[in-house]
Structure 1
Amino acid sequence: MRVIGRMLFASVIAVASLGAMSQQQHSDQPASDQEIRIGNVMPYSGSLSEFGAIGQAEAAYFDMVNARGGINGRKIRFITRDDNSDPGTALELTRKLVETDGVHLMFGSFGTPGNLATRRYLNEMKIPQLFVATGDEELSQPSAFPWTMGWQPSFRSEGRIYANYIQAYYPRKKIVVLWQNDQFGRMLYKGIQEGLGDLNRHVLVDIAFDLADEHLDGHISILKRAGADIFVFLGVPSTASKVIKLAASMNWRPVFIVNDASASIANAMAPAGLENSAGVISAAFLKDPSDPAWKNDPAMKDWFAFMDKYHQVESTNNSAAVFGYAAAEALAQVLKQCGDDFSRENIMRQAASLRDVNPSLALPNIRMSTSLNNYLPIRQMRLVQFDGRSWQQFGDVIETAFTEGAAR
């Protein structure tokens, strides 16, 4: 009954907030009716620079959109800046994008810390903060922050998927966990702990690591000596590849689970060695461009044609670039729904009105839907296993069943 009450309260607050937006009388229209200005911050340098490919792909996507005439008669001006994964820099750059560059909305900025740092400012200024590139549920709270919306499945929900998999297939097996020591890794691991419940007693050892950690070999040695049957890795692709390779070099072959961000053939499995990576389990919602299973897929053919024409500097097999393309495609859908009304309140209204949209590069039966009390568009994933060449899907589409109250 309390959960229902919180959900109803969230709905009322969100409706009231959007109602207040409508009183602006479109005073926030861009100075030029010939373009839509979109702001973005990305880690093009620093420890998370491998995810800068997201912003590069988004820029290329909007180049393609403009070459095809724009959206509803307007060209897209995508202004992206490098925050070096620093929350203070992200806030400073976001302020400049809003107050100097006059962006109409912020879109797809990367990382939990940076988006949390800019959230209050953007909500106070009533600037849409759309489809943030993080799965932290705190950035999908419409009752408190009606101008901020996530996009991908939540990290905690993803963690619960791995916990449910372990419960179903390995209920009495021992577990070790290596998790990235930041909000990203912490939320993934929290989901696993919540999902395991009483089975947390089977977690023999968990080790937190930093991105600049120089002791991965020592960590893997400790985890191996614990005698566990299941090894869960929660981190970024570049570290995942090292970890998989190290485990194989120690002749350790546990049931290996990696998180979605690391489930990339080109960015993690191949660098680790395809034979070493065979058997790895993950959960995914987007197609892997380096997976030969999709070579005849029409949407993937469109992807490779796009990369060849508009984004030649980036590897066509980069999963981070696929993420950026898919997110930009989602924003384009929102902007198309705006018709000729590109006021900020209408952009936000349309973002909260997605109905069963099928992203072209999503796995089969993955859909996007939003509403005034649902600010997490994608809440579905598929379990996958790497067979040394391709990701094999198994089981049904998994609904993560996120509600705003559950994130508190």
Structure 2
Amino acid sequence: MKRRTLLLGATALGGSTAWAQGAKKYGPGATDAEIKLGQTMAYSGPASAYGTIGKLHMAYFRMLNEQGGINGRRINLISLDDGYSPPKTVEQVRRLVEQDEVLALFQTLGTAGNSAIHKYVNAKKVPHLLVASGASKWADPKNFPWTLGFNLSYRAEGQIYARYLLKNKPAAKIAVLYQNDDFGKDMLNGLKEGLGAPGAKMIVAEASYEVTDPTIDSQVLSLQGSGADTFINISTPKFAAQAIRKAWDSGWKPLHIVNNVGTSVGAVLTPAGLDKSVGLLTLQYYRDPNDPQWKDDPHMLEWRAFMGRHYREGDPRDASNLYAYLTAQTMVHILKACGNELTRENLMRQATSIKALKLPLMLPGLMLNSSPSDYVLVKQAQLSRFNGKLWEGFGDVLSTVG
């Protein structure tokens, strides 16, 4: 009897240990039924073209919830308009953290807005995940361990354009248009770093604009008057389109390089004029939804089916919608990796432990990786040229680090 009691006790203890290992553990914004995420997005204001990103996220999570959610939990994304205004971003994020008590922030948009909340969310120890901005400051695990970006680094992008020019057009006279904030300055600094001290003399003119400016016509004309034969356009969609159109209409025909965030065929090049966009150069890390080489690709067909069923008002020509799809998939990957431990701490552990994640709509061979000491997810990209209908990649896939 004594031996049997001991055996039963051991069995009970083992069962208790097994239960404890699989026990559910929740932080703010997570329950058996729900995972609550927060987001600020530019549904209005000068960068409202990006609003489609948040709308696609909402559609994606609705689809996911219809399929049963993640481990039986529905995703509740609270997506608020900040008008691309940093003070409004601060107000909305405080609401999300202090009133809505979200588990994490997901894809908050814009360099200036995210800069305004950077210290706050890290002090509150709220995961600030897959930031929709390529500023290099999002990869600073030592000082800001709760913030992880997604986008191609603006600084690295600028460095790659510099390397391309030094190799292919070493006598270039460069004019630069940039948005007067951390976004524009980050890429401009990367360009100058890539050119080096002697190469920096290739820049003959710089002009900035404010996001509140109605047009950038005067800046483009000023840059044209510098005699530059190379134009680097560091702009968000509205201003990128204006710059492309104004340069063409004024008779200026430089080698025109447009930063990655201002290259959507639907949101930028079509409004600017496809004929006026021929020959533009940029850097890409995900597939162009307008490229016929992906027409019969099963993953692209799946994405188009998603657009047709779940986000009919969205434009399948707009690369921002494909980008949004990729970021939603990455967030789902992180949440699934958390299992039943949906705490803020575990969310950061999983987000900074991504190994060779292949998202089908990225360019072939590109993968996402992160670690506790490496917060740069996108490390590769390819130069592309616009042919009047679509972006055509050329050359090797390039490393954006080192």
Relative to the length of structure 1, the TM-score reads 0.88
- After superposition, residues 246-325 of structure 1 pair within 5 angstroms as 246-325=246-325
Alignment partners' CA distance in 1, 2:246 and 2:147: 40
User: Structure 1, residues 161-190: CA drift from partner, whole Å, max 9, x if none?
Assistant: 111111110011211111111211111111
User: Structure 1, residues 237-287: CA drift from partner, whole Å, max 9, x if none?
Assistant: 222222222222222211111000112212222222222211110001122
Give 1:27 deviation, angstroms: 6.1
The higher-RCO structure (CA 8 Å, 6+ apart) is: 1
Alignment partners' CA distance in 2, 1:239 and 1:220: 11
Alignment partners' CA distance in 2, 1:169 and 1:157: 18
Tell me the SS of whatever aligns to 2:327. helix
The reply to whether residue 231 of structure 1 matches residue 231 of structure 2 is: yes
Tell me the SS of whatever aligns to 1:134. coil
1:194 aligns with 193
User: Structure 1, residues 200-258: CA drift from partner, whole Å, max 9, x if none?
Assistant: 11211111122343563333222223222211111012222222222222222111110
Alignment partners' CA distance in 2, 1:56 and 1:200: 41
CA contact (8 A) 1:153 1:379 kept: yes
Tell me the SS of whatever aligns to 2:396. strand
Tell me the SS of whatever aligns to 2:221. helix
> Residues 65 and 214 from structure 1, CA distance in 2 versus in 1: closer, same or farther, beyond 3 angstroms?
closer
Alignment partners' CA distance in 2, 1:165 and 1:382: 11
Give 1:123 deviation, angstroms: 2.0
The reply to whether residue 99 of structure 1 matches residue 85 of structure 2 is: no
Give 1:29 deviation, angstroms: 5.5
2:244 aligns with 244
Letter in 1 for 2:133: T
Letter in 2 for 1:384: S
1:68 aligns with 67
Letter in 2 for 1:369: N
Unpaired runs of 5+ residues, structure 2, are: 1-23
Alignment partners' CA distance in 1, 2:221 and 2:309: 46
> Residues 37 and 204 from structure 1, CA distance in 2 versus in 1: closer, same or farther, beyond 3 angstroms?
same
1:167 aligns with 166
Give 1:294 deviation, angstroms: 2.4
Letter in 1 for 2:108: S
Give 1:88 deviation, angstroms: 2.3
Letter in 1 for 2:176: V
Alignment partners' CA distance in 1, 2:287 and 2:242: 23
User: Structure 1, residues 55-85: CA drift from partner, whole Å, max 9, x if none?
Assistant: 1111111111111111122111111111122
Give 1:30 deviation, angstroms: 4.3
Unpaired runs of 5+ residues, structure 1, are: 1-24, 403-408
1:211 aligns with 211
- After superposition, residues 16-35 of structure 1 pair within 5 angstroms as 26=25, 28=27, 30=29, 32-35=31-34
Alignment partners' CA distance in 1, 2:44 and 2:334: 30
284-293 vs 209-218, which moves further:
209-218
The reply to whether residue 52 of structure 1 matches residue 51 of structure 2 is: yes
CA contact (8 A) 2:36 2:78 kept: yes
CA contact (8 A) 2:154 2:187 kept: yes
Tell me the SS of whatever aligns to 1:36. strand
CA contact (8 A) 2:26 2:341 kept: no
Give 1:31 deviation, angstroms: 5.8
> Residues 282 and 29 from structure 1, CA distance in 2 versus in 1: closer, same or farther, beyond 3 angstroms?
same
Tell me the SS of whatever aligns to 2:219. helix
Alignment partners' CA distance in 2, 1:328 and 1:310: 14
Alignment partners' CA distance in 2, 1:115 and 1:243: 26
Tell me the SS of whatever aligns to 1:395. coil
> Which structure would you say has the larger Rg?
2
Tell me the SS of whatever aligns to 1:149. strand
2:150 aligns with 151
Letter in 2 for 1:363: L
2:9 aligns with none
CA contact (8 A) 2:230 2:255 kept: yes
Tell me the SS of whatever aligns to 1:184. helix
1:3 aligns with none
Tell me the SS of whatever aligns to 1:232. strand
> Residues 125 and 210 from structure 1, CA distance in 2 versus in 1: closer, same or farther, beyond 3 angstroms?
closer
Alignment partners' CA distance in 1, 2:253 and 2:176: 15
Letter in 2 for 1:317: R
Alignment partners' CA distance in 1, 2:26 and 2:174: 56
Alignment partners' CA distance in 2, 1:390 and 1:293: 10
> Residues 195 and 44 from structure 1, CA distance in 2 versus in 1: closer, same or farther, beyond 3 angstroms?
same
145-154 vs 82-91, which moves further:
82-91
Relative to the length of structure 2, the TM-score reads 0.90
1:405 aligns with none
Alignment partners' CA distance in 1, 2:298 and 2:42: 31
1:181 aligns with 180
Letter in 2 for 1:89: K
